Each structure stands twice: as C-alpha cells, then as structure tokens.
Amino acid sequence: MDYMYAPWRDDYINGKEEGCPFCNIVNDDSLDNERHVLYRAKNCFLVMNKYPYTPGHFMVIPNQHADAIEALPSEVWLEMSELVQKSVKLLKEEFRADGVNIGMNLGECGGAGIAEHVHYHIVPRWGKDTNFITTIANTRVYSTDFEKLYVKLRNKIIENF
C-alpha cells in the first residue's frame, strides 16, 4: 500500500484548535488572510475549506453558533441562501464551473465534520475533475495552487458581492 502524507491535517485530527473553529473566525478578523476568509456579510461569512474536495471548495457559515438550521433566525437563513445563490452564479460565470455541489451535513450522524456549527459547502465541479486515482489509490489530486486560488476567489467575490 502507498502512503500519502498530509501533515497539515494534524491540527484538525488532533483537535489542537481551542473551541469552535468557525466561532474563532467570527470573533477574530485579524487572521482572515491566514484562515482564508473570502468575505464577511452582516450575519455570515465565506471561508475556503482547508480540506477541499475540489479546487475552489468553500463554505457559507453563519456568525451565530448553532447546531441546527431551525435555530437560526430567518434573517440569517435568508442571508445564507442569498450568499449561496451569489456564490453559485460567481463560480459559473467567473470560474466557468460546469456544475456546483451544494451541501449541508446536519449533525455528526449526517456526516458533519464540525457538527456544532451549521454551514453550507459550495463545491465547484468541472468535467473530468476527478479521475482514476481516487478509485485505485484512494487519493485526490488537487490541481491548483490553494493560495493563488484563494486570492483570485476573494477578489472576485469582493468585486461581485
């Protein structure tokens, strides 16, 4: 069996970050660039996924710490929905995504990695963005420089939102 080392996941796996990672972003905007925050709205923010499925995978997250969508005020839910809609449009028009997966895993049993704070995943998709290596080597290939994509995506979001 081949091994692929991913030491950047160590903090996530070992839970070295204190508290809710999303609330940490809400409470401290001084680290927005290091945390790859793309945009801050009134009630929500957009941030790159540290462990993306495809290049450009980011999340829409409410500022309010809640583990259930039904606990969110309507104003927050509507803003999240508007940001999802704008995000999909941006990915299709500015990044020529052929499709977009939108996902929300609710609760640990529902597949949420951070179940205590609801969030949407926005995953741009292109034809042939996955290939045989996932099947035969259980490995994903990330074909784009993460930092360059973060800057480009952030600039396009600021320009269009």
Per annotation, catalytic residue among 57, 117, 119, 121: 119
SS (H, E, C) the chain: CCCCCCHHHHHHHHCCCCCCHHHHHHHCHHHHHHHCEEEECCCEEEEECCCCCCCCCEEEEECCCCCCHHHCCHHHHHHHHHHHHHHHHHHHHHCCCCEEEEECCCCHHHCCCCCCCCCEEEEEECCCCCCHHHHHHCCCCCCCCHHHHHHHHHHHHHHHC
Q: Please indicate whether residue 36 is annotated as part of the active site.
A: no
Query: So which residues are the catalytic ones?
Result: 119
